[in-house]
Structure 1
Amino acid sequence: MPDVILMDIQMPNLDGIEALKQIKTMDKIKHIPVIAVSASITEMTTQSIIQKGFDDFIPKPVDMDYLSTVIRKYLDADIQYI
């Protein structure tokens, strides 16, 4: 099982919000934090993404320092990147 899920909001067949709804119905994985990722999010919709049930949001292009900060909130790990 993953410790955290990073999910793009805009996916081809199933958008991230619908995928999140499906994840939250699955007993084995509904406890896993789901972090939304997208290039087309404004301040106003960032709040609505959180209200939809995502645990957090990471804008694209991804800033590696911010990514590691967000992931550290949900994992007990020392995250390093190159």
Structure 2
Amino acid sequence: MTRVLYIEDDFNNRVLVKRVLMAEGFEVEEADNAIDGIEMAKSNPPDIILMDISMPEMDGVTATQQIRSLPGIADLPIVAVTANAMQGDKEAFLGAGCDGYISKPIDIDTFVDQVRQFLK
């Protein structure tokens, strides 16, 4: 079973993503902030991390950069899942170490296929 770690501060977004992925057979763990998400990734590495970009305390770009510096989990696929959809945002997230980008609000009809394409 594919394990997903979803790092997202918004409760409603976490519930939606978890329900959509679990309906397709994914196991989903959630962190409501980047600091806890990094610790969860270190202690029990998932198959993929879905990372919100705009979070208090530590944003998703900083969290991605920290994960990229950690032995053993530096190569995990990390996908930005964000409402930041201005021109140049996608390129900035990819340049910061994300493997991909999915804009919010998610399209529940295509979301699972989008996540699957980033799995190694």
TM-score above 0.5, yes or no: yes
Give the Cα–Cα distance (whole angstroms) in 1 for the partners of residues 54 and 118 of structure 2: 23
Task: Summarize deviations over 1:11-47 as a string: whole Å, max 9, x none.
Answer: 1110111101110111121111000011122232112
Q: How does 1:38-53 map to 2 (within 5 A)?
A: 38-53=82-97
Aligned residues: 76
Q: What's 1:3 paired with?
A: 47
Following superposition, the deviation at residue 50 of structure 1 comes to 1.2
- Are residues 1:74 and 2:118 paired? yes
Note the residue ranges of structure 2 that are not aligned, 5 or more in a row.
1-44
CA contact (8 A) 1:56 1:70 kept: no
For residue 58 of structure 1, the aligned residue among 59, 77, 102 is 102
Report 1 or 2 for greater relative contact order, CA contacts < 8 Å, sequence distance ≥ 6. 1
Secondary structure of 1:47 counterpart: helix
Structure 1 regions of 5+ residues with no counterpart? 77-82
Distance 1:43 1:66, change over 3 A: farther
Aligned residues: percent identity?
37
Aligned residue for 1:61, secondary structure, equals coil
2-structure distance, mates of 1:54, 1:20: 7
* Deviation of 1:66 (Å): 3.0
The residue aligned with 1:80 is: none
> Does the 8 A contact of 2:99 with 2:118 survive in 1?
no
Q: Is the partner of 2:98 in helix, strand or coil?
A: coil
8 Å Cα contact 1:9-1:37 kept in structure 2: yes
Deviation at 1:64, TM superposition (A): 2.0
Which residue of the other structure, out of 11, 15, 33, is the alignment partner of 2:77? Answer: 33
**What is the Cα-based RMSD across aligned positions, in Å?**
1.5
